[in-house]
Amino acid sequence: MNSERKDSQIESSTDTAVGGEVLRVENLRKWYPLRKGFMETLLSKVEASVKAVDLVSFSLGKGEIFALAGESGSGKTTLGKLVLRLVEPTSGKIFFQGKDITELSQRELKPLRREMQIIFQDPFESLNPRMIIKEIIAEPLRVQHLAKTEEEVEERVKQVLTEVEVVPPEEFLYRFPHELSGGQRQRVAVARAFILNPSFVVADEPVSMLDVSIRAEIVNLMVDMVRKHSASIIFISHDLALAKHIADRIAIMYLGKVMELSTSENVVDLPLHPYTQALIAAVPIPDPESKRTKDVISGEIPSPVNPPSGCRFRTRCPYAHERCSTEEPPLVEVEKGHFVACHLYT
């Protein structure tokens, strides 16, 4: 991190990605304009917008598991879609494997699509109910024209089904999603994401809709697939214990901004930002004597249409002081590889 960036009032890029860089985003922003009625348009000069992601920067290393965590409404999912260009950024830059892909047309993006995949939260909705498993998994192969014959398609589908332990694969090829359990469906979604051997995957809360009893095995499967395919993954989760278990680094988001970013151990065991500290304190632990409660963060997350001035967390922060309402804290490196956006450290 150079000092020029460190002093900047805009979010700084974090260059501690492990194993070389696969993805880098710089000052990424996604504002959704709000629809207004006729009278509102006449009366208000300022265009209101939902500030879903606001000046976010980070990089992702080759083979890295990077978790995005925070409450719902923090902008995690929007950020995951932005980096894949599934939604268009309002401003900022996205570099994939060193190439600026921010302005590429969908046609220009097509060859890169095989390298970038997404696994959605809900396997009940993300798999087309009218398609058989073979076609669901084979679709990316067909779109990219990467299999010459029908035999090759079937062989590759069977191979990836075996990898995700949906076995014997022959028994599942001609079934529909509703004939599978929730866990099997998410395994199929993982198979579909990995059939093209991508170098980068976004997994958006991939186990939150599954029964608690099978979450660990699906998470472990994903980690195995990431390692086996030497891929990098952005793992979106509100579950900090899970994020710590699997991720190399964690970024904590609040109201569209990164509040803290560091190694999983730093973020979970030595959190510096008051928001992260509150999130950690709210994680339930199985000790009836524990003082940890779920009510550690008081109040509701404010509206992303009109976020608080200065620090966005100030309306819920026990350490808020005058400066917090007037000055937005930049994300700065307070220890090596540990970035925090809070005036307590500047």
Q: Which is nearer to ligand SF4, 192 or 314 (CB)?
A: 314
Give exposure, 177-190, as e/b (b: 16+ Cβ within 10 Å). Answer: beebebbbbbbbbb
CB of 261 to ligand SF4, least distance (A): 15
CB of 325 to ligand SF4, least distance (A): 8
CB of 208 to ligand SF4, least distance (A): 27
Q: Which is nearer to ligand SF4, 192 or 343 (CB)?
A: 343
Kindly tell me the sign of the dihedral angle through the C-alpha atoms of 59, 80, 264, 321: positive
CB of 285 to ligand SF4, least distance (A): 24
CB of 283 to ligand SF4, least distance (A): 19
In this structure, which amino acid lies at residue 154? E
* Residue 218, both tokens: 């699906």
Got the DSSP string for 59-74? EEETT-EEEEE-STTS
Q: Which is nearer to ligand SF4, 159 or 309 (CB)?
A: 309
In degrees rounded to 5, what are phi and psi of residue 262?
A: -170, -170
| CB 156, CB 239: distance < 8 Å | no
| CB 130, CB 124: distance < 8 Å | no
d(CA 253, CA 266): 16
Closest by CA to 71, choosing from 337, 322, 276, 343, is: 276
Residues that bind ligand SF4 (CB under 6 A): 274, 311, 313-314, 317, 319-320, 324, 329, 342-344
CB of 135 to ligand SF4, least distance (A): 49
Got the DSSP string for 280-340? HHTS--S-TT----TTSS-SPPPPTTSPPSSSTTGGG-TT--HHHHHSPPP-EEEETTEEE
* Residue 303, both tokens: 């509206």
CB of 87 to ligand SF4, least distance (A): 28
In this structure, which amino acid lies at residue 327? E
Q: Which is nearer to ligand SF4, 75 or 274 (CB)?
A: 274
Q: Which is nearer to ligand SF4, 97 or 315 (CB)?
A: 315
Query: What letter does residue 167 receive in the DSSP assignment?
Result: -
Q: Which is nearer to ligand SF4, 24 or 338 (CB)?
A: 338
Q: Which is nearer to ligand SF4, 133 or 317 (CB)?
A: 317
Q: Which is nearer to ligand SF4, 173 or 342 (CB)?
A: 342
| CB 325, CB 335: distance < 8 Å | no
CB of 335 to ligand SF4, least distance (A): 16
